[in-house]
Structure 1
């Protein structure tokens, strides 16, 4: 029960802070852990799912996501056209994941769904990016669900994840925590971030009322904080085999070097955040595309292993790695 209790305590602490100061939680959390969690998440995903992220498939994904990075950088200057381009390339990433994971009629069905979804996203781009922002914070549920397979009693751990990822946000959005909301004032701690309305708009559907916007911001702040908890604390500590697998692929970025890289880049970007938050956020968002978009094809291969992926998507552990988590209690 130990690690399940750990998640429960972390969720209570994260929700308390998010309800009290959602704006500061969002802004300061991003500055403190944004870049570091990018590096550590990429290390985990590339190490744990190395059977997927290799060869031609990896090159295709790298090329497509690099195009998204360019779209986000271009959006700083040309605005909407670059956002529409990002939507199209984003669906191309999903299509690549489906092509890897599926064969036959399931692939044709997936292609039809993607075409329909892309049409909806292009028609309502504001909603598309809000959904994308929240979906990114929900993704750890799938990686933690897969991680639970190594635990002696995975059900307890898995339902703990469902509780904080899905149930708590649903209750907040339904108004169960409205008694604790105090609006979204411009916190003096995060005043340098500028107009709080822009931050709320990034996490709430277009045209949301004040109370709905506040609920969505709280949910985003809460899930973002737990997202950092997963990638910066929990998985590096409890899934060291993924880091070791990555280090075998990239021996020049081992151990402390990965932490130093994330911490150093984060500190440099923090200066820009404080000087010009909007520019810092845009630059961060562009290069964060690599970890954000790389998750989706891996998840598709994990959830839909019916094609080429069925023989290549291997989540094997060595005998020592199977024994290592044995001392960990759910």
Structure 2
């Protein structure tokens, strides 16, 4: 009964989608058949929109992005990094990855994510050559993160957004070159933000002042660039806002497109059914309730809701480290078959 009600709520969105495809006529078939072209277009749109948002209204992006897209992107993280590859069915993955992640959330130390990734390599179904290569990278990084505690967490806060983009690049099939379009735009936009190219747009829009956003630019500069000068600190905050927005797009649109077994995009009802099959309807309802509760909290106190979400979501950056180590070690990247087929086959 609950499933039928949820599908009824999604049905109008599918009607609108169908009408839109009819309007674009012959282009609709190309859009449906050519996955790589579709992903390249969606990625390029995401880069441009994220750049403009960071240059015109960075405080609103930093405030509303986690509220509107944070919880769905966490679901995407867990789905594609843990459930789709089948790691949730392996007790050793829970043991070696779950314990360090739990401690990492409680301590907010990135070393625990690196420790979890190293432990994951030890139980991965892979060759000893690949296992040793991964450990040769992770062990020095772990030692550096202990020695430079604080700096490591600050650096990881920025690199975490780029990790999602790197995972998408590794996820995609080794075919075609259209993926270089959004990647090239991302690099150009990042360089432009660091060079100060957004300053005219920011001055024109008055984006440094957003009284209703619940935070101030000085707050973000103190948390994201505490040791930088004002000019460089501002540019780093804008770069973070841009990369965070693109990080959400990766988990909500680009990786789902790459991972889907069929090239054609799913309907909204079809997406719900796929999620239901993987998570169960009650867990999806719980995730929906969490997203709705966060939105209601934001209506009361936007700044507090954002802070609460970031504390709750602290696990997912370290989950990306653990899962990326497993995915790389077991050769999940760069194949057209979805991860579930690779694991079971």
Work out whether the TM-score is over 0.5.
yes
1:60 is matched with 96
Q: Residues 286 and 202 of structure 1: is their aligned pair in 2 closer, same or farther, counting only changes over 3 Å?
A: same
1:268 is matched with 293
Verify: 1:50 aligned to 2:86, yes or no: yes
1:27 is matched with 63
* Contact 2:113-2:319 at 8 Å conserved across structures: no
Distance 1:100 1:313 in 2: 18
Verify: 1:175 aligned to 2:211, yes or no: no
1:232 is matched with 252
Distance 1:119 1:96 in 2: 15
TM-score (ref. length: structure 2): 0.70
Equivalent position SS for 1:139: helix
Verify: 1:143 aligned to 2:164, yes or no: no
Equivalent position SS for 2:178: helix
* Contact 2:110-2:145 at 8 Å conserved across structures: yes
Q: Residues 272 and 126 of structure 1: is their aligned pair in 2 closer, same or farther, counting only changes over 3 Å?
A: farther
Q: Please give the residue correspondences for 1:264-303 in structure 2 after superposition, counting only pairs within 5 Å.
A: 264-273=289-298, 275=300, 279-303=304-328
Which of 189, 208, 220 is the equivalent residue of 1:199? 220
TM-score (ref. length: structure 1): 0.73
Q: Residues 125 and 165 of structure 1: is their aligned pair in 2 closer, same or farther, counting only changes over 3 Å?
A: farther
List gaps (5 residues or longer) in structure 1: 72-82, 323-330
1:16, CA displacement in angstroms? Answer: 0.7
1:223, CA displacement in angstroms? Answer: 1.4
1:23, CA displacement in angstroms? Answer: 1.2
Equivalent position SS for 1:189: helix
2:236 is matched with 216
1:61, CA displacement in angstroms? Answer: 1.0
Distance 2:299 2:151 in 1: 28
Distance 2:301 2:100 in 1: 29
Distance 1:128 1:234 in 2: 28
* Contact 2:67-2:309 at 8 Å conserved across structures: no
Kindly provide the CA deviation profile for residues 195-247 of structure 1, in whole angstroms up to 9, marking residues without a partner as x: 4322223332x321121111111111111112222222344456445978875
Kindly provide the CA deviation profile for residues 292-330 of structure 1, in whole angstroms up to 9, marking residues without a partner as x: 211112222333x3xxx36x9996737xx99xxxxxxxx
Q: Residues 106 and 38 of structure 1: is their aligned pair in 2 closer, same or farther, counting only changes over 3 Å?
A: closer
2:23 is matched with none
1:155 is matched with 177
1:69, CA displacement in angstroms? Answer: 2.4
Q: Residues 280 and 2 of structure 1: is their aligned pair in 2 closer, same or farther, counting only changes over 3 Å?
A: closer
Q: Residues 181 and 125 of structure 1: is their aligned pair in 2 closer, same or farther, counting only changes over 3 Å?
A: farther
If asked which structure has higher relative contact order (CA below 8 Å, sep 6+), I would say: 1
1:273, CA displacement in angstroms? Answer: 4.4
List gaps (5 residues or longer) in structure 2: 1-36, 263-270
1:265, CA displacement in angstroms? Answer: 0.6
Distance 1:137 1:273 in 2: 23
Verify: 1:122 aligned to 2:178, yes or no: no
